[in-house]
Structure 1
């Protein structure tokens, strides 16, 4: 069965390989390290000899920090303790009991890159996998911070790091410049990883960057303070500044990890509830999770915000919950083949059950609107949330394809949906569906 020309053209366009961003990020990381080795090779031995204890302490902190990672809801993996340690090394000046840390930016980049690689290898041994592009992006980001602090000549020909040695400089000004340099490096890292994730998951760049910046906000604010805090404590307490200055970052890490754990548990609870119709024999096994996964992919492809995607996922998981009130199951649980009145009754019953929780009213609204044909929006200006229109398309796709992923089943499902384009289904959502059909599953 051949799909209509419009569908076939979109599938062909979507299947074409896009320009790879990941190799470019890896290349930038390699260039950062190689250029540092070339320019600082003559001073590397002297720096290691004069500052061995300081470099070793920060290297250990970075390696250990790499083992304490947190996975954000989008799948983004952060290592805040490791990143904070690297930033602290980039902005470090005087250290009590040790020579002034007058080390070029290139040597800082080499030490950080080597420590990140060791930490990543240790993590892989412990079955904590980190992509190398993340290491490269973090190396480039720290390199930017170190360059701004140590390689940009200000008054007197020295970088801003030397301001820490000048009692005439206002401490608040030194702190502001430190945080500015740290912010520049952090946002370079976030942008690079966001670009790779956008390419890997076939998302709009703006959507991927917005998701990266939104999720990283809490950690970013903590990281901006942690590095300068270590640098300000070091002239007073020496290397003890490292654990003392990183303590707030550790507490932030614990709080963020607890938040992500609670959110994952909450989702698992909803996913378990969604399986009620499967256990009772009303819907095929895995139908709810497939519809939810497809809905999330469509939403991200359309550039929706993370909060909207979360509510959409919950509504998609529970979209068939109303079938538990049926006297006899619908064949194959395919609500798309049921009469319109039956579809509305199932959606309303599911929404009524969800509203009884008193915490998922927004999700219930999305469930209730999933059966409304798109022509009500086009012809009567009826307010139907975009999330509900996405669930309608994702559910129809899974019903028509019977959950199969072979090419013929996918094309048949897309053809059936295309027949209702503009009448039952939102054309914009259908185009987003087609873009996600061959979407890579890795993140």
Structure 2
């Protein structure tokens, strides 16, 4: 529900038709876009690092510190790319000097990786090309082809994987679908890591002596897969941290959680292909890649369903705007800002989804009012009326079939903040900020709005959430117009 903005802004809103929300991009892409756009207007954002006495120990670093943090972050990307380029360049130079070992095997696996990259499922998701990842892992773990021992080393693995990934992603670059440098760097470094852990032991005979083909070999492969998956998750989280400035811990946690999904399928397929090629030759590759390919297309359909589901919720949330109960774009701005604050506080991806859906629908209970509240601000209403609106909003949300957690957050909007869950506190604070900062110069802009929230931390707002909001604003992570 909407908090009270300045009295000067409390003028009745006339119904506005607006245009349908047709944005089908993922939530992460939206946050990155919002961050980039607001960074151009950060001159009016708060620059103070001294909290009011009501904040206690909750201190927000100044805007300069956060801008410096974001300026240093791209060096992580540069470092990963330089490391991948050094490994790939060394492999290419070594391959030119000594020649390609078993060129038929290298060509077969290179073609497999190229096909996997060509059928990638788009820029969304942790692993957009699971088939290419499985092929790279299989080549890194390959010990023999049809009974003949494999002779390629770590540098040749990096060369083949890098060249194939570059060739497979070239069409996507031509169509401007997604940047691929970070993706290729991850692919090269992960494959080189797996090959470094496996190929020297295999060539020296240590692996055959210790593990052979018994249970010890299965244990070795399992440990190697775990280490490789951790390496890839660390790289992916570091790159995401550098691009967005979000906390590294929650990003790494989300990456590790995703390993239980498509990551497990990629690791299992890569190992099965490597073992099958050792016995049956190259004919095993197309046979054992079919399950992963079907899984990839299923995930694509699932992502499309989720985008459609989110669009439906966003369209339902616009009912209050079309009817004139809330300002146009209010729910969308609150949802984007709430998600940014939630990520700054370290919420997991499922919690962020609940937070976003609840923020989109937090004002839906106002449709029960006979006359719209001026500017959509329900805070001047009696507490009983606020509670009734919140409960009706939660009942409407339950009828939509959304997760029950979303309805609970909507129902708790009128409770004292100390009794609310964290997601409800975030929406309450983001909603108040959007209302207060929406007046631009008349209300003093974002700085004045943030100071008003800080003054209200003793009664109405969670200090930790307010300071997280200040950090989001200082780093340019708020939605335009908020």
Give the TM-score, by structure 1 length. 0.86
Identify if the C-alpha distance between structure 1 residues 332 and 395 changes in structure 2 by more than 3 Å, giving closer, same or farther. Answer: same
Cα displacement (A) at 1:367: 0.7
SS at match of 1:66: helix
Cα distance between partner residues in 1 of 2:154 and 2:45 = 59
Query: 1:117-161 deviations in whole A, cap 9, x for unaligned?
Result: 22222212234313412221221111000111112x36x82364x
Question: Counterpart in 1 of 2:205?
Answer: 158
1:25-424 matched pairs, under 5 angstroms: 25-43=80-98, 45-47=99-101, 51-70=102-121, 76-96=126-146, 100-151=149-200, 153=201, 157-158=204-205, 160=207, 163=208, 169-336=212-379, 340-357=383-400, 359-374=402-417, 377=418, 383-402=419-438, 409-424=445-460
Q: After the TM superposition, which of the residue ranges 327-336 and 189-198 deviates more from structure 2?
A: 327-336
Question: Counterpart in 2 of 1:437?
Answer: 473
Cα displacement (A) at 1:373: 3.3
SS at match of 2:145: coil
Q: Report if the CA contact (8 A) 1:33-1:110 is conserved.
A: yes
Cα displacement (A) at 1:46: 4.0
Identify if the C-alpha distance between structure 1 residues 335 and 14 changes in structure 2 by more than 3 Å, giving closer, same or farther. Answer: farther
Give the TM-score, by structure 2 length. 0.80
Q: After the TM superposition, which of the residue ranges 113-122 and 255-264 deviates more from structure 2?
A: 255-264
Task: Give the aligned length.
Answer: 423
Query: 1:259-305 deviations in whole A, cap 9, x for unaligned?
Result: 32222222221111111111112112221111111111111111112
Cα distance between partner residues in 2 of 1:347 and 1:13 = 39
Cα distance between partner residues in 1 of 2:299 and 2:218 = 25
Query: 1:60-102 deviations in whole A, cap 9, x for unaligned?
Result: 22122113334697x54531101000001111122239x5321
Question: Counterpart in 2 of 1:16?
Answer: 68
Cα displacement (A) at 1:315: 0.8
Cα displacement (A) at 1:356: 2.9
Cα displacement (A) at 1:244: 1.4
Cα distance between partner residues in 2 of 1:2 and 1:441 = 11
Q: Report if the CA contact (8 A) 1:142-1:186 is conserved.
A: no
Cα distance between partner residues in 2 of 1:396 and 1:136 = 42
The runs of 5 or more residues in structure 2 that have no matched partner are 1-43, 52-59
Q: Report if the CA contact (8 A) 1:179-1:225 is conserved.
A: no
Identify if the C-alpha distance between structure 1 residues 61 and 17 changes in structure 2 by more than 3 Å, giving closer, same or farther. Answer: same
Question: Counterpart in 1 of 2:4?
Answer: none
Cα distance between partner residues in 2 of 1:172 and 1:260 = 38
Q: Report if the CA contact (8 A) 2:193-2:228 is conserved.
A: yes
Q: Report if the CA contact (8 A) 2:123-2:178 is conserved.
A: no
Cα distance between partner residues in 2 of 1:405 and 1:266 = 37
Q: Report if the CA contact (8 A) 1:366-1:388 is conserved.
A: yes
Identify if the C-alpha distance between structure 1 residues 46 and 317 changes in structure 2 by more than 3 Å, giving closer, same or farther. Answer: closer
Q: Report if the CA contact (8 A) 2:436-2:443 is conserved.
A: no
SS at match of 1:16: helix
Query: 1:14-66 deviations in whole A, cap 9, x for unaligned?
Result: 233442221111122112213334555432x242xxx2232222212212211
Cα distance between partner residues in 1 of 2:214 and 2:319 = 61
Q: Report if the CA contact (8 A) 2:425-2:462 is conserved.
A: yes
Q: After the TM superposition, which of the residue ranges 363-372 and 62-71 deviates more from structure 2?
A: 62-71
Query: What's the RMSD between the two structures over aligned residues?
Result: 3.0
SS at match of 1:78: coil
Cα distance between partner residues in 2 of 1:367 and 1:147 = 52
Identify if the C-alpha distance between structure 1 residues 435 and 206 changes in structure 2 by more than 3 Å, giving closer, same or farther. Answer: same
Structure of greater relative contact order (alpha carbons < 8 Å, 6+ residues apart): 2
Cα distance between partner residues in 1 of 2:440 and 2:157 = 52
Query: 1:396-420 deviations in whole A, cap 9, x for unaligned?
Result: 1111112869995221221221221
Cα distance between partner residues in 1 of 2:77 and 2:379 = 40
Q: Report if the CA contact (8 A) 1:201-1:439 is conserved.
A: no
SS at match of 1:6: coil
The runs of 5 or more residues in structure 1 that have no matched partner are 378-382
